Structure 1
């Protein structure tokens, strides 16, 4: 009888751990060769991007899916162009500074971060253009002109302190600075550092 209770407790703890980890989305990206990148995504990049510098290709694995990213620099801005495994465009991200966000939007974002965290540090700000109903050409045009549209979103990588301690988070906001969603992320990968 005692063995049954021990097994029941063990299964309960294991199930709770699995449920709590399912709320997080852990992703890792690693660099790949151009030949490993989806050919449909190559065609989209070749058709819509000229004069890009430092074009590099990455594969990103997370708990739900595999995606591919092309990272490049164009007109002094860093871009991440994300594709699914078939080569369909998902979104374009631009790395920005806090001064690139409208004042009212940024004050809404700061207010939310101040209420949710006792202390935080912003690591990275990204402006995102999603492929909703726009054509691929329109998405690239909007992103490369860095337009502030009602359909854009902001993703902010933050190290925030809550009651559990410091954790890494990605917090998403809409174009007006209203909270959309938040998830914990893994810290940066330092596998390339040799000791």
Structure 2
């Protein structure tokens, strides 16, 4: 009997850890150019030609800290993310649903309809993650907006599962297959005074 109680207690604790691991406690703060990692800043200065409205951000979540430079280039909105050492992690491009191939977008919609009672798409980003490819190739491909098999789609939604709406980040691969779902905190409005 005692073994059952111990087993049940351990099972409940493990389930609780798994459930909380899917939450993304992310906050993004605008920072000065001088607070951005020097190595990343040098990389940006070298690679970004004709970029406008460059803004710098520090992003902290439950796992890591990263830095982002957001800007407009060729009428498109980009976000270049670096780790704390200034190493390129990924490049994201803000897109619309029409920019995604029809079959991939229909798979994404099917997933969202099956897993949420209601949802509203707030933002879609096309990701070029640095992984198997080197940073130079990623930069070239992202700024040409190429549709390649390694890209990812990150969809930010306001969705309802059981009770109330919450904000989620849903990650899909280039074919529209589900990869990851993370619940995220609403945007930081600390700057608003009441």
Return the TM-score normalized by structure 1.
0.88
Conservation of the 8 A alpha-carbon contact between 1:48 and 1:137: no
TM-fit CA distance, 1:17: 10
Distance 2:95 2:30 in 1: 22
Task: Name the SS of the counterpart of 2:153 in structure 1.
Answer: strand
SS at match of 1:56: strand
Pairing 1:1-195 to 2, within 5 Å after superposition: 19=17, 20-195=19-194
- How far 1:18 sits from its partner (Å)? 6.8
SS of equivalent residue, structure 2 residue 86: coil
CA displacement at 1:115 relative to structure 2: 0.6
SS at match of 1:43: helix
How many angstroms does 1:48 deviate by?
Answer: 1.3
TM-score of the aligned structures, taking structure 2 as reference length: 0.89
SS in 1 for 2:46: helix
- Quote how far apart the aligned CAs of 1:78 are: 0.6
Rounded to whole Å, the distance in 2 between the matches of 1:17 and 1:66 is 27
Q: For 2:114, what is the secondary structure of its paired residue?
A: helix
**Contact map agreement 2:22 2:181 (CA 8 A) in 1:** no
Is this contact kept in 1: 2:127–2:152, CA < 8 A?
A: yes
Deviations 1:164-186 (A, max 9, x none): 32111000000000000101000
SS of 2:140's partner is helix
The 10-residue stretch of structure 1 (130-139 or 144-153) with the greater mean CA deviation from structure 2: 130-139
Gap runs ≥5 in structure 1 = 1-11
Aligned pairs, number: 183
2:63 and 2:119 map into 1 onto residues whose CA distance is 28
- CA apart distance, 1:193: 2.7
1:82 CA drift (Å) = 0.3
TM-superposed deviation, 1:43 = 1.6
